[in-house]
Chain A
Amino acid sequence: MDHSAAAAQQQPKKRIAQRTATEELAKRIRRHAVRMTNLGGSSHVGSVLSMADIVAVLYGGIMRIDPRNPTQPNRDRFILSKGHAGAGIYAALAESGFFPIEWLERHCADGSVLSGHVSHRGVPGVELSTGSLGHGLPVGAGMAYGAKLDDASRRVFVLLSDGECDEGSTWEAVMFSAHHRLDNLIAIVDYNKIQSLGPVAETLALEPFADKWKAFGWSVIELDGHDHNELYTNLSGLPKTAGKPTCVLAHTVKGKGVSFMERSVLWHYRTPRGSEYDEALNELISDE
């Protein structure tokens, strides 16, 4: 992991420039997400807004990927296990140059390949189609196990929702990854504390969440999932512990960036329309 060690020791000035760039990317992802969910009449906009900073730091500064060669064998792999936030990944991929930004206008449109839940067919850069929860970590573990067998340096980043930690299949993969010492696997949980019908704590409590991951043999980092400095520094220093997979519990705010969407169950499913749409975009633009 020479690469990440070197990245962690970058000069402060370069780190600040990096941070500014990923913050700018996160803003663009948020704006795309609001436009795309409006155009597509789809939603999960709150889920995209909560993960936008994590995605921006991964695509903008951490992952070794090449939009000109999206299938290069030793690239880092990214899996969006919370597939309902597909708009955020399409936006990140378009902004990173995997396909033209104009494609985003076709999100959820008739005949489009950009489905609401992320799909790989016809979309360069998408590693795995998801949409049913609890699928991403098992596949990610398989990719990480394969990289170990091949003695390859590629890493696998899986972004999960807190809600999908209700799924048993997620924990099957959690056990497997620790048992096989997959320190090339990083599970990032977008811990926004709200699932589909209500607060996580009232639906099926996850706490003590970090302790659960630790007890299962993972190395755990807790951080503010909107702080680019924290994200960048921590994700540059992977693996946290040699021989252990890393879990990043990213504390986030659902709907982050649009005041009336923040911490709201409503905006898991609601499509931004009319004045709400204008207001949301205004907030995201005036933020500059």
Chain B
Amino acid sequence: MRDNFVRQLSELARSDPRIFLMTADLGFRVLDGYAADFPKQYLNVGIAEQNMIGLATGLALDGRVVFTYSIGNFSTLRCLEQIRNDACYHNANVKVVAVGGGFSYGPLGISHHATEDLSIMRALPDMTVVAPGDQWETREATRQLVETKGTCYLRLDKSSAPATARAGEVFSIGKARKVREGADITLAATGGILGAALEAADSLVEQGIACRVLSVHTIKPFDTEAIIRACRETGGIVTVEEHTIDGGLGSLVAETCLEAGVTPQFFRRIGLRAGFSSKVGSQEYLRHEYGMDAASIAKAVAELISARSPKFSLRRAK
């Protein structure tokens, strides 16, 4: 996703002199090409994230569209108040980019696990929050964020779902994508873990469970309608996020349904419940360890359905 983001941004920067990329001294070899091609639209500000958001706001208030690049929590939590007061409150065109959503940097430890960023960023007023699920979404989101007024957060993942776009499909920030149709249950996923949700949906077919899979690439503004439709048209909702279950996608779906007076027959949040992810390992390993890999998702869905719906428990009993 990271490389696709930089590639897309380079394409855009060529024809749009407003585009500016700042890094807080991260992106070894990733940003070299961009830096060489656009020296007047690039700056390494040093290891100083608070200053970076301030600088970005200053440049943005005078007409630039500034992408700030760092990894994990450095992009967001380290400079949270600058994002809130300087960028968001002034509707500055600052696009905060974090490479390494969730367990992307799994072996590096909890300092590098970005597992609260979505809930914290979505709490900020006048903020757009996007976590693409595959490479196409990454490119499209990058392009659209340039045109989205105000401060935005782009969470990029090391993992990515296989290409999900249909020929001629149009991507819109704020509109969830139905990447698979099914009536028994909806799997709503955000970020690269969409791939695990799709894999789980594949394996559930063998058990006679047809999943609708939504790519909820935009957390804010939230596609309330897609969730309500999923509630009405499918048996229930399971949310999947490589992120704490506190305040992220799962919470959003619950809030949305309750407020709309719509009750899904099944509901479960798959995400990090363990507090700090103090174990280390690859992204795949940690997903398994914390119950959010494809097998865990499939298992959770099957249990949920068989517990609540006699139709499926009968079928499984055969």
Q: Chain A: residues with CB nearer than 8 A to chain B?
A: 73, 120-121, 127-132, 134-135, 137-147, 149-150, 168-169, 172-173, 175-176
Contact status of A176 and B45, CB under 8 A, knowing A130-B85, A168-B50: yes
In the assembled complex, which residues on chain B have CB atoms less than 8 Å from the CB atom of A173? 51, 54-55
Please, how many angstroms separate the alpha-carbon atoms of A5 and B53 in the complex?
A: 34
In the assembled complex, which residues on chain A have CB atoms less than 8 Å from the CB atom of B62? 73, 143, 146-147, 150
Q: Which of B43, B64, B90 contacts A128 (CB 8 A)?
A: B90
Q: Which of B59, B60, B90 contacts A120 (CB 8 A)?
A: B90
Residue B89 interfacial (CB < 8 Å): yes
Are B40 and A149 in touch, CB under 8 angstroms? yes
Residue B56 interfacial (CB < 8 Å): yes
Question: From B66, which residue of chain A is reached at the shortest CB distance?
Answer: A142
Contact status of A141 and B58, CB under 8 A, knowing A129-B85, A132-B81, A135-B82: yes
In the assembled complex, which residues on chain B have CB atoms less than 8 Å from the CB atom of A139? 54-55, 57-58, 61, 86
Q: Which of A131, A135, A142 contacts B56 (CB 8 A)?
A: A142
Are B58 and A142 in touch, CB under 8 angstroms? yes
Are A143 and B58 in touch, CB under 8 angstroms? yes
Are A145 and B54 in touch, CB under 8 angstroms? no
Residue B179 interfacial (CB < 8 Å): no
Residue B46 interfacial (CB < 8 Å): yes
Please, how many angstroms separate the alpha-carbon atoms of A73 and B60 in the complex?
A: 13
Residue B123 interfacial (CB < 8 Å): no
Are A169 and B51 in touch, CB under 8 angstroms? yes
Question: Using a CB-CB cutoff of 8 Å, which residues 50-84 of chain B contact chain A?
Answer: 50-64, 81-82
Please, how many angstroms separate the alpha-carbon atoms of A140 and B61 in the complex?
A: 11
Are A138 and B59 in touch, CB under 8 angstroms? no
In the assembled complex, which residues on chain B have CB atoms less than 8 Å from the CB atom of A168? 50
Are B90 and A145 in touch, CB under 8 angstroms? no
Are A142 and B90 in touch, CB under 8 angstroms? no
In the assembled complex, which residues on chain A have CB atoms less than 8 Å from the CB atom of B262? none
Residue B48 interfacial (CB < 8 Å): yes
Residue-wise, chain B 305-317 has the 8 Å CB interface mask toward A (1 for contact) of 0000000000000
Question: From B52, which residue of chain A is reached at the shortest CB distance?
Answer: A138
In the assembled complex, which residues on chain B have CB atoms less than 8 Å from the CB atom of A73? 62
Question: Using a CB-CB cutoff of 8 Å, which residues 70-126 of chain B contact chain A?
Answer: 81-82, 85-86, 89-90
Most buried by A among B40, B62, B90: B62
* Distance between B78 CB and nearest chain A CB, rounded to angstroms: 11
In the assembled complex, which residues on chain A have CB atoms less than 8 Å from the CB atom of B63? 146
In the assembled complex, which residues on chain B have CB atoms less than 8 Å from the CB atom of A147? 62
Please, how many angstroms separate the alpha-carbon atoms of A145 and B22 in the complex?
A: 13
Please, how many angstroms separate the alpha-carbon atoms of A128 and B51 in the complex?
A: 15
Contact status of A141 and B55, CB under 8 A, knowing A146-B64, A168-B50: yes
Are A145 and B89 in touch, CB under 8 angstroms? no
In the assembled complex, which residues on chain B have CB atoms less than 8 Å from the CB atom of A131? 85
Please, how many angstroms separate the alpha-carbon atoms of A149 and B60 in the complex?
A: 13
Residue pairs across A and B with Cβ atoms less than 8 A apart, 23 shown, are: A73-B62, A128-B61, A131-B85, A132-B81, A135-B54, A135-B81, A138-B51, A138-B57, A139-B54, A139-B86, A141-B54, A141-B58, A142-B54, A142-B58, A142-B61, A145-B55, A145-B58, A146-B64, A150-B62, A172-B51, A173-B51, A175-B46, A176-B48
